Amino acid sequence: MPYENIKSEKSLYTTGKSFTQALEKLDPSENYKGTELEGLDAYERQLKRFNIKVSGKDCDTVSKFFQTSDSAVLFPEFVSRSIKLGMRDNCTIDNMLATTTYVDSLDYRSLQLDETDDMKTFDIVPEGSAFEEVKIGVKSDLTSLKKYGKMISASYEAIKFQKLDLFSLALRRIGENLVHYETYDIIGSVNPNAFNQIKYADEFTYDDLVDLYTSLMPYKLTTIVADPKSYTRLLKLPELRDANAGLDFHATGRAITPFGAEVYCLSELSENTMYAFDKNYAFERVVASDVSTDFDKLIDRQIERATVSIIVGFTNVFPKAVKIFKKKEG
């Protein structure tokens, strides 16, 4: 089979594409339709080639990757995939994004739509008359892109006999923490002003939430991110104690407001602060570099000095799709 003759090289990490994409170009998955290998991607076929089992009862140890120079090249991709799996485990961020844009430069400006009152109305256009303009341009400010990362502090000797599924669990935890800080940066992309803040006195009530809900129109209230105190207050509102909301919370641990919005808790938020928004229009995630590793060091078993990182940023695409709900000062 072709996958058994692929030469795994470090250069596959420097093509400008992911390692798996580079492998797919050499060994397309479409060639395996109707075979026992259908459903595996090019990387998974390489794991099969070297008989590396990354999970299950017969799961191998980390050292299995380093039996040959070709199989060692697969290890950085295992690290990246495990971290990405952790990022997907914490699906909070996916439920907040309107879109994700991949860029090859740190110089990126998002789109801007001129949301005037005229844009909300569509009058009949008499024959021969001009159409009203809707202006679409680019934002004046660059999207702030940041690098998140960690240095792995573990010697090869310490982990070589660890099962791959257990080692993957530690990497998944790193990925989950990466997403947590990305979530905070989503909120940080909102520029507070007099037009997007709704303030309440003392403790908010259900009536305050109704005002918040209507203030977003014509956008929909799909998502709320709250500090721990506000989150607790929200869950204790009598209006949230109906049977359906209670059943869903007890079954999934996911809090639902009476308006159908999903609610998330973010400990880094200021006390008595919530962000309410329409996830279909509010935020864009900009990725300049997906999860990357020091592949040279990982391949050479210099794991104690290897880093994993990602370069991302966020833009509040439609500012009117977000409201800040907070307690009045003083």
Q: Is residue 300 in some structural domain? A: yes
- pLDDT tens digits for range 163-203: 999 999 999 998 888 888 888 899 989 988 888 999 998 89
Q: Is residue 110 in some structural domain? A: no
Q: Is residue 127 in some structural domain? A: no
In terms of domains, do 41 and 76 share one?
Answer: yes
In terms of domains, do 303 and 181 share one?
Answer: yes
Report CA 22 to chain centroid distance, whole Å: 23
| pLDDT for res 254 | 60
DSSP state of 55: S
In terms of domains, do 161 and 57 share one?
Answer: yes
| pLDDT for res 202 | 87
Q: Is 70 exceeded by the pLDDT of residue 289? A: yes
The crossing angle, in degrees rounded to 10, of helices 75-89 and 164-188 is 50
In terms of domains, do 214 and 230 share one?
Answer: yes
- 191 or 246, which is more confident: 191
Helix (H) or strand (E) run with residue 322 in it: strand 322-327
Q: Is 70 exceeded by the pLDDT of residue 118? A: no
Q: Is residue 119 in some structural domain? A: no
In terms of domains, do 87 and 76 share one?
Answer: yes
Q: What is the domain count for the chain?
A: 2
CB of 312 closer than 8 Å to CB of 182: yes
- pLDDT tens digits for range 24-52: 999 999 999 999 999 999 999 999 999 99
Q: Is 60 exceeded by the pLDDT of residue 245? A: no
In terms of domains, do 224 and 237 share one?
Answer: yes
Q: What domain range is 299 assigned to?
A: 2-94+144-185+291-313
User: Quick one: three-class SS letters along 101-123?
Assistant: EECCCCCCCCEEECCCHHHHCCC
**The model's pTM:** 0.81
In terms of domains, do 88 and 207 share one?
Answer: no
User: In which band, very low, low, confident or very high, does the pLDDT at 216 lie, cut at 50, 70 and 90?
Assistant: very high
Q: Is residue 11 in some structural domain? A: yes
In terms of domains, do 308 and 320 share one?
Answer: no
Q: How far is CA 188 from CA 181, 221, 222, 296, 312, in A?
A: 11, 19, 19, 35, 13
Work out the mean pLDDT of the chain and round it to a whole number: 88
DSSP state of 125: -
In terms of domains, do 153 and 254 share one?
Answer: no
Percent of the chain with pLDDT over 70: 92
Greatest alpha-carbon span in the chain:
79
Q: Is residue 235 in some structural domain? A: yes
In terms of domains, do 181 and 210 share one?
Answer: no
Q: Is residue 133 in some structural domain? A: no
Task: Work out the end-to-end distance of the chain between its first and last CA atoms, rounded to an integer number of angstroms.
Answer: 73
In terms of domains, do 153 and 71 share one?
Answer: yes
| pLDDT for res 95 | 84
Q: Is residue 134 in some structural domain? A: no
DSSP state of 161: T
Measure the CA–CA gap between 113 and 135, rounded to whole angstroms.
6
In terms of domains, do 61 and 170 share one?
Answer: yes
What CATH number should be reported for the domain holding residue 267? 3.30.2320.10
Measure the CA–CA gap between 109 and 106, rounded to whole angstroms.
10
